[in-house]
Chain A
């Protein structure tokens, strides 16, 4: 639920990185945090388990400058990917304005991608939001693993599995190496801002 503060002339927008466990959601935020360190005034907040897995969410606020005189403040969140944390995922999706679905290119993770995307659609419905209407970008992550001989799905297979109906923009990337991390972020920000263009004029 983006919020326009007319008094402070600022807009707050919530973007959530969603996807299966160990898919690279937190790694995306880690990369953005390092890359834009000078623009990020605060520390990234991470609520983790002792095993370094996301327990509740990661949170990273990023200022991207002004549009129509408004300061645009993007708030990036991740959800915990582990299957058992669905109640928490639902909470993090509250008031979401745009979503990056981080899917795992590894062949053995095919099923997890599918299940996670289906559950995301259901979770959005519980907040009266529609995956077909909300700004959404897919990221096919871990392309760097192809150099290590790990069997990966092809882009065509990923598209067939996840994007046949949604027909949203996608990026093949590596959150670890930073490939297409910024491009994914730029795309979801621009799509979300476009969805708010009427309010911002």
Chain B
């Protein structure tokens, strides 16, 4: 069992809000590889079941990661599902945690990837404290 301090969680929330929600991301979630939700921030209009989503996302990410290793890749650098209205972007923060962004057509994938790279660096620093 592990825990993260209140200060760390609050700083993570600030990063998600300022760097992701501010550019139009509908929902940003940090989960661990076991499927636990560590942080979740949304624009107030997301009403899906985050707990089940986190469990499925962790499973999905782990399955794709295992497939990468089977074909001799360390990992696939882009893990992204495009929908008609909502799309999902996954990124690995470190060996233990993942960042998931749910966003609409008003956010370009390239810009989101740029922002998530910055966010990942910031979260790694916070996580390492």
CB of A92 within 8 A of CB of B59, answer yes
B29 CB, nearest partner CB in chain A, Å:
13
Chain A interface: which of B32-40, B107-115, B116-124? B32-40
Question: Which of A6, A75, A88 is within 8 Å of B55, CB to CB?
Answer: A75
Chain B 90-127 interface mask (CB, 8 Å, partner A; 1/0): 00000010000000000000000000000000000000
Task: Please count how many residues in chain A sit with their CB below 8 Å of the partner chain's CB atoms.
Answer: 31
Give Cα distance in the complex from A77 to B38, angstroms: 19
> Can you list, as one digit per residue, whether each of A22-63 has a CB less than 8 Å from chain B (1) or not (0)?
000000000000000000001101010000000011010100
**A43→B96 CA distance, assembly (Å):** 27
Answer whether A59 and B10 are a contact pair too, CB < 8 Å, given A42-B49, A95-B32, A96-B34. no
Check A77–B55 contact: CB distance below 8 A: yes
> Given contacts A42-B49, A45-B56, are A6 and B3 in contact (CB under 8 A)?
yes
Whether the pair B51, A42 counts as a contact (CB closer than 8 A) is yes
Please, how many angstroms separate the alpha-carbon atoms of A45 and B49 in the complex?
A: 11
Q: Which of B2, B9, B35, B63 contacts A88 (CB 8 A)?
A: B63
A5 within 8 A of B: yes
Determine whether A2 belongs to the interface, using a CB cutoff of 8 Å to chain B. Answer: yes
**Alpha-carbon separation in the docked complex, A45 to B51 (Å):** 11
Instruction: Tell me, in angstroms, the Cα distance from A4 to B33 when the chains sit together.
Output: 15
Chain A: CB-nearest residue to B13: A7
Q: A104 near B: Cβ within 8 Å?
A: no
Set of chain B residues within 8 Å of A165, measured between Cβ atoms: none
**Smallest CB separation, B4 vs chain A (Å):** 7
Shortest C-beta distance, B10 to chain A (Å), equals 7
By CB atoms of chain B within 10 A, which of A1, A56, A96, A196 has the most? A1
Q: How far is the CB of B11 from chain A (nearest CB, A)?
A: 11
Q: Across the interface, which residues of B come within 8 angstroms of A4, CB to CB?
A: 1-3
Contact A1 B36 (CB under 8 A): yes
Q: In whole angstroms, how far apart are the Cα atoms of A88 and B38 in the complex?
A: 24
Given A14-B35, A75-B35, A87-B66: A7 in contact with B10 (beta carbons within 8 A): yes
| Contact B4 A6, beta carbon cutoff 8 Å | yes
The interface bits of chain A over 137-175 (1 if a CB of B lies within 8 angstroms of the residue's CB, else 0) are 000000000000000000000000000000000000000
Which residues of A line the B interface, CB within 8 A?
1-7, 11-12, 14, 42-43, 45, 47, 56-57, 59, 61, 73, 75, 77, 87-88, 91-92, 94-97, 196, 199
**Interface CB pairs A-B, < 8 A, 22:** A1-B1, A1-B32, A1-B33, A1-B96, A3-B1, A5-B9, A5-B38, A14-B34, A14-B35, A14-B36, A42-B49, A43-B49, A43-B52, A57-B55, A61-B51, A61-B52, A61-B55, A77-B35, A94-B33, A94-B58, A199-B1, A199-B3
Considering the complex of A and B, which 9 residue pairs feature the smallest CB-CB distances, nearest first?
Answer: A95-B34, A4-B3, A2-B1, A3-B36, A12-B36, A91-B62, A7-B9, A59-B55, A1-B34
| Chain B residues engaging chain A, CB cutoff 8 angstroms | 1-6, 9-10, 32-38, 49, 51-52, 55-56, 58-59, 62-63, 66, 96
